[in-house]
Amino acid sequence: MPGATFPDEALSDDKFLCGKLRLLQPVKGYRAATDAVLLAAACPAVPGQTVLDLGCGAGAASFCLASRVPGLIQSGLELQPEYADLARRNAARNGIAFEVAEGDLTRMPPSLRRDFDHVIANPPWYPPGGTASPVRQRATAMQVRLPVGEWVAAGARRLAPGGWLTVIAGADSVPELLAALSPKLGSATILPLAAREGREALRVILRARKGGRAAFRLLPPLVIHAGEAHTGDREHYSPLAREILREGAALPAAFS
Protein backbone atom coordinates (compact mmCIF):
# COMPACT_ATOMS: atom_id res chain seq x y z
CA MET A 1 0.00 0.00 0.00
CA PRO A 2 2.15 2.90 -1.20
CA GLY A 3 1.70 5.96 0.98
CA ALA A 4 0.09 4.00 3.82
CA THR A 5 0.50 5.56 7.25
CA PHE A 6 -0.75 5.26 10.81
CA PRO A 7 -3.21 8.00 11.80
CA ASP A 8 -1.86 10.32 14.49
CA GLU A 9 -4.54 9.27 16.98
CA ALA A 10 -3.30 5.66 16.73
CA LEU A 11 0.24 6.56 17.82
CA SER A 12 2.01 6.98 21.13
CA ASP A 13 5.10 9.15 21.68
CA ASP A 14 7.58 6.95 23.54
CA LYS A 15 10.87 7.70 25.27
CA PHE A 16 13.95 5.57 24.67
CA LEU A 17 17.31 5.84 26.45
CA CYS A 18 15.90 7.99 29.24
CA GLY A 19 14.39 10.42 26.77
CA LYS A 20 17.40 10.84 24.46
CA LEU A 21 15.11 9.54 21.71
CA ARG A 22 11.39 10.11 21.18
CA LEU A 23 9.75 7.61 18.86
CA LEU A 24 6.23 7.44 17.48
CA GLN A 25 4.85 3.91 17.71
CA PRO A 26 1.41 2.42 17.08
CA VAL A 27 -0.61 1.95 20.24
CA LYS A 28 -1.99 -1.38 18.98
CA GLY A 29 0.69 -2.43 16.50
CA TYR A 30 4.14 -3.93 17.01
CA ARG A 31 6.07 -1.85 19.54
CA ALA A 32 9.85 -1.94 19.94
CA ALA A 33 11.20 -2.48 23.44
CA THR A 34 14.37 -3.90 24.99
CA ASP A 35 15.34 -6.12 22.03
CA ALA A 36 15.92 -3.10 19.78
CA VAL A 37 18.13 -1.40 22.39
CA LEU A 38 20.14 -4.57 23.02
CA LEU A 39 20.62 -5.09 19.28
CA ALA A 40 22.00 -1.56 18.94
CA ALA A 41 24.32 -2.12 21.90
CA ALA A 42 25.74 -5.25 20.27
CA CYS A 43 26.60 -3.68 16.90
CA PRO A 44 30.36 -2.83 16.80
CA ALA A 45 30.00 0.09 14.38
CA VAL A 46 32.33 3.10 14.47
CA PRO A 47 31.85 6.61 13.06
CA GLY A 48 31.82 6.82 9.28
CA GLN A 49 30.69 3.23 8.68
CA THR A 50 27.55 2.09 6.87
CA VAL A 51 24.77 0.12 8.58
CA LEU A 52 21.72 -1.65 7.13
CA ASP A 53 18.80 -2.51 9.43
CA LEU A 54 16.76 -5.41 7.98
CA GLY A 55 13.13 -5.11 9.09
CA CYS A 56 13.75 -1.73 10.68
CA GLY A 57 10.17 -1.16 11.88
CA ALA A 58 9.80 2.33 13.33
CA GLY A 59 13.59 2.63 13.51
CA ALA A 60 14.27 1.99 17.22
CA ALA A 61 17.43 -0.13 16.85
CA SER A 62 18.99 2.14 14.23
CA PHE A 63 18.24 5.30 16.20
CA CYS A 64 19.60 3.85 19.45
CA LEU A 65 22.77 2.97 17.53
CA ALA A 66 22.95 6.49 16.07
CA SER A 67 22.60 7.96 19.57
CA ARG A 68 25.73 6.07 20.66
CA VAL A 69 27.81 6.28 17.47
CA PRO A 70 27.78 9.63 15.63
CA GLY A 71 28.53 9.91 11.93
CA LEU A 72 27.08 6.61 10.77
CA ILE A 73 25.52 6.23 7.31
CA GLN A 74 22.34 4.30 8.08
CA SER A 75 19.73 2.60 5.93
CA GLY A 76 16.70 0.48 6.70
CA LEU A 77 14.57 -2.06 4.86
CA GLU A 78 10.93 -2.41 5.95
CA LEU A 79 8.22 -4.64 4.50
CA GLN A 80 5.23 -2.70 5.86
CA PRO A 81 4.67 0.79 4.40
CA GLU A 82 3.10 2.09 7.62
CA TYR A 83 6.25 1.28 9.58
CA ALA A 84 8.53 2.61 6.86
CA ASP A 85 6.63 5.90 7.09
CA LEU A 86 7.04 5.92 10.89
CA ALA A 87 10.78 5.30 10.55
CA ARG A 88 11.10 8.32 8.28
CA ARG A 89 9.04 10.48 10.64
CA ASN A 90 11.04 9.32 13.67
CA ALA A 91 14.33 9.99 11.88
CA ALA A 92 13.24 13.54 11.10
CA ARG A 93 12.00 14.34 14.60
CA ASN A 94 15.25 13.04 16.15
CA GLY A 95 17.52 14.72 13.62
CA ILE A 96 18.96 11.44 12.32
CA ALA A 97 19.81 10.81 8.66
CA PHE A 98 18.17 7.49 7.76
CA GLU A 99 17.38 6.10 4.30
CA VAL A 100 14.32 3.81 4.39
CA ALA A 101 13.41 1.48 1.52
CA GLU A 102 10.20 -0.51 1.37
CA GLY A 103 10.46 -4.11 0.25
CA ASP A 104 11.14 -7.76 0.94
CA LEU A 105 14.58 -8.95 2.03
CA THR A 106 14.40 -11.82 -0.49
CA ARG A 107 13.94 -9.25 -3.28
CA MET A 108 16.16 -6.44 -2.08
CA PRO A 109 15.21 -3.03 -3.49
CA PRO A 110 17.80 -1.75 -6.00
CA SER A 111 18.67 1.21 -3.76
CA LEU A 112 20.04 -1.21 -1.12
CA ARG A 113 21.95 -3.53 -3.44
CA ARG A 114 25.35 -2.37 -2.25
CA ASP A 115 27.89 -3.34 0.40
CA PHE A 116 27.53 -2.32 4.04
CA ASP A 117 29.99 -2.47 6.94
CA HIS A 118 27.25 -3.76 9.26
CA VAL A 119 23.89 -5.43 8.96
CA ILE A 120 21.58 -5.67 11.99
CA ALA A 121 18.29 -7.52 12.31
CA ASN A 122 15.59 -8.47 14.80
CA PRO A 123 13.59 -11.12 12.89
CA PRO A 124 10.04 -12.08 13.92
CA TRP A 125 10.01 -14.97 16.37
CA TYR A 126 6.43 -16.28 16.68
CA PRO A 127 5.37 -19.14 14.38
CA PRO A 128 2.41 -18.42 12.06
CA GLY A 129 -0.66 -18.28 14.27
CA GLY A 130 1.57 -18.04 17.34
CA THR A 131 0.29 -14.63 18.38
CA ALA A 132 -3.37 -13.89 18.78
CA SER A 133 -3.04 -10.23 17.80
CA PRO A 134 -5.92 -9.11 15.57
CA VAL A 135 -3.85 -6.13 14.40
CA ARG A 136 -2.45 -6.87 10.93
CA GLN A 137 0.71 -4.80 11.33
CA ARG A 138 1.59 -6.36 14.67
CA ALA A 139 0.96 -9.91 13.46
CA THR A 140 3.10 -9.31 10.36
CA ALA A 141 5.95 -7.88 12.44
CA MET A 142 5.94 -10.69 15.02
CA GLN A 143 5.06 -13.88 13.11
CA VAL A 144 7.69 -15.83 11.23
CA ARG A 145 7.16 -15.47 7.50
CA LEU A 146 10.68 -16.38 6.42
CA PRO A 147 13.06 -18.78 8.24
CA VAL A 148 15.72 -17.01 10.27
CA GLY A 149 18.31 -18.53 7.95
CA GLU A 150 16.91 -16.34 5.16
CA TRP A 151 17.63 -13.26 7.26
CA VAL A 152 21.22 -14.41 7.80
CA ALA A 153 21.65 -15.12 4.09
CA ALA A 154 20.23 -11.72 3.12
CA GLY A 155 22.54 -10.01 5.58
CA ALA A 156 25.57 -11.89 4.26
CA ARG A 157 24.78 -10.80 0.71
CA ARG A 158 24.76 -7.14 1.73
CA LEU A 159 27.94 -7.19 3.83
CA ALA A 160 31.26 -5.95 2.58
CA PRO A 161 34.23 -8.30 3.13
CA GLY A 162 35.09 -8.15 6.81
CA GLY A 163 31.68 -6.68 7.68
CA TRP A 164 29.66 -7.74 10.71
CA LEU A 165 26.18 -9.24 10.98
CA THR A 166 24.43 -8.73 14.34
CA VAL A 167 21.11 -10.47 15.02
CA ILE A 168 18.88 -10.81 18.08
CA ALA A 169 16.66 -13.90 17.96
CA GLY A 170 14.99 -16.63 19.97
CA ALA A 171 17.31 -19.11 21.67
CA ASP A 172 15.49 -21.95 19.92
CA SER A 173 16.73 -20.57 16.59
CA VAL A 174 20.44 -21.05 17.43
CA PRO A 175 20.87 -24.27 15.38
CA GLU A 176 19.37 -22.60 12.31
CA LEU A 177 21.37 -19.42 12.85
CA LEU A 178 24.65 -21.33 13.01
CA ALA A 179 23.78 -23.58 10.06
CA ALA A 180 23.09 -20.50 7.92
CA LEU A 181 26.53 -18.94 8.49
CA SER A 182 28.49 -21.13 6.10
CA PRO A 183 30.15 -20.44 3.71
CA LYS A 184 30.22 -16.62 3.88
CA LEU A 185 30.20 -15.87 7.61
CA GLY A 186 32.48 -16.96 10.44
CA SER A 187 34.07 -15.76 13.70
CA ALA A 188 30.65 -16.24 15.28
CA THR A 189 29.86 -15.26 18.86
CA ILE A 190 26.61 -15.94 20.70
CA LEU A 191 25.56 -14.01 23.80
CA PRO A 192 22.60 -15.59 25.65
CA LEU A 193 20.13 -13.19 27.27
CA ALA A 194 18.67 -14.41 30.58
CA ALA A 195 15.85 -12.60 32.36
CA ARG A 196 17.35 -13.41 35.77
CA GLU A 197 20.32 -15.22 37.28
CA GLY A 198 19.85 -18.97 36.88
CA ARG A 199 17.02 -18.64 34.37
CA GLU A 200 17.05 -20.27 30.96
CA ALA A 201 18.02 -17.87 28.16
CA LEU A 202 15.08 -17.24 25.83
CA ARG A 203 16.86 -14.81 23.51
CA VAL A 204 20.37 -14.63 22.08
CA ILE A 205 22.51 -12.13 20.21
CA LEU A 206 24.56 -13.55 17.33
CA ARG A 207 27.49 -11.67 15.84
CA ALA A 208 29.38 -13.04 12.82
CA ARG A 209 31.90 -11.66 10.34
CA LYS A 210 31.97 -11.99 6.56
CA GLY A 211 35.06 -14.03 5.77
CA GLY A 212 35.82 -14.50 9.48
CA ARG A 213 37.94 -17.49 10.50
CA ALA A 214 38.11 -17.20 14.30
CA ALA A 215 36.78 -19.98 16.53
CA PHE A 216 33.14 -19.96 17.62
CA ARG A 217 32.51 -18.44 21.06
CA LEU A 218 29.59 -19.02 23.43
CA LEU A 219 29.63 -16.28 26.08
CA PRO A 220 28.25 -16.21 29.62
CA PRO A 221 24.67 -14.89 29.72
CA LEU A 222 23.83 -11.23 30.04
CA VAL A 223 21.39 -11.09 32.98
CA ILE A 224 18.72 -8.44 32.44
CA HIS A 225 17.03 -8.22 35.86
CA ALA A 226 18.55 -8.27 39.35
CA GLY A 227 17.13 -10.49 42.07
CA GLU A 228 14.84 -13.48 41.92
CA ALA A 229 11.63 -11.53 41.23
CA HIS A 230 10.22 -8.01 40.97
CA THR A 231 9.64 -6.34 44.35
CA GLY A 232 7.44 -3.31 44.04
CA ASP A 233 6.64 -1.01 41.15
CA ARG A 234 10.17 -0.02 40.11
CA GLU A 235 12.93 -1.07 37.77
CA HIS A 236 15.03 -4.08 38.67
CA TYR A 237 17.62 -4.06 35.89
CA SER A 238 21.07 -5.43 36.59
CA PRO A 239 23.76 -2.69 36.56
CA LEU A 240 25.03 -3.65 33.10
CA ALA A 241 21.53 -3.96 31.64
CA ARG A 242 20.64 -0.55 33.03
CA GLU A 243 23.69 1.05 31.38
CA ILE A 244 22.60 -0.42 28.04
CA LEU A 245 18.84 0.03 28.23
CA ARG A 246 18.71 3.42 29.93
CA GLU A 247 22.01 5.09 29.01
CA GLY A 248 22.55 3.62 25.54
CA ALA A 249 25.90 2.02 26.38
CA ALA A 250 27.53 -0.58 24.17
CA LEU A 251 28.11 -4.12 25.27
CA PRO A 252 31.48 -4.12 27.11
CA ALA A 253 34.67 -5.35 25.46
CA ALA A 254 34.32 -8.71 27.23
CA PHE A 255 31.33 -9.47 24.96
CA SER A 256 33.16 -8.52 21.73
Q: What residue segments make up the domains of the chain, in order of their start?
A: 31-249
Upper half-sphere CA count for residue 221 (Cβ side, 13 Å): 18
Q: How confident is the model at residue 83 (pLDDT cuts 50, 70, 90)?
A: very high
Alpha-carbon dihedral angle through residues 40, 235, 196, 181, given to the nearest 10 degrees: -10
* pLDDT tens digits, one per residue of 132-184: 444 444 444 444 478 999 999 999 999 999 999 999 999 999 999 999 999 99
Confidence at residue 127, expressed as pLDDT on a 0 to 100 scale = 58
Which amino acid type is present at position 233? Answer: D
pTM: 0.90
* pLDDT tens digits, one per residue of 188-247: 999 999 999 999 999 999 999 999 999 999 999 999 998 666 565 556 899 999 999 999
| Contact indicator for 228, 196 with CB cutoff of 8 Å | yes
Q: In this model, does residue 109 exceed pLDDT 90?
A: yes
Among 3-12, 45-54, 62-71, 221-230, which stretch is predicted with the lowest mean pLDDT?
Answer: 221-230
The DSSP string of 81-141 is HHHHHHHHHHHHHTT--EEEEESBTTB--GGG-S-EEEEEE----BPTT-S----HHHHHH
Phi/psi of residue 191, nearest 5 degrees: -110, 110
Q: How confident is the model at residue 29 (pLDDT cuts 50, 70, 90)?
A: confident
Distance CA 82, CA 59 (A): 12
Confidence at residue 256, expressed as pLDDT on a 0 to 100 scale = 67
CATH superfamily of this structure's domain 31-249? Vaccinia Virus protein VP39 (3.40.50.150)
Distance CA 254, CA 173 (A): 24
Confidence at residue 140, expressed as pLDDT on a 0 to 100 scale = 45
> Residues 6 or more apart from 217 whose CB is under 8 A from it?
188, 189, 190
Q: How confident is the model at residue 119 (pLDDT cuts 50, 70, 90)?
A: very high
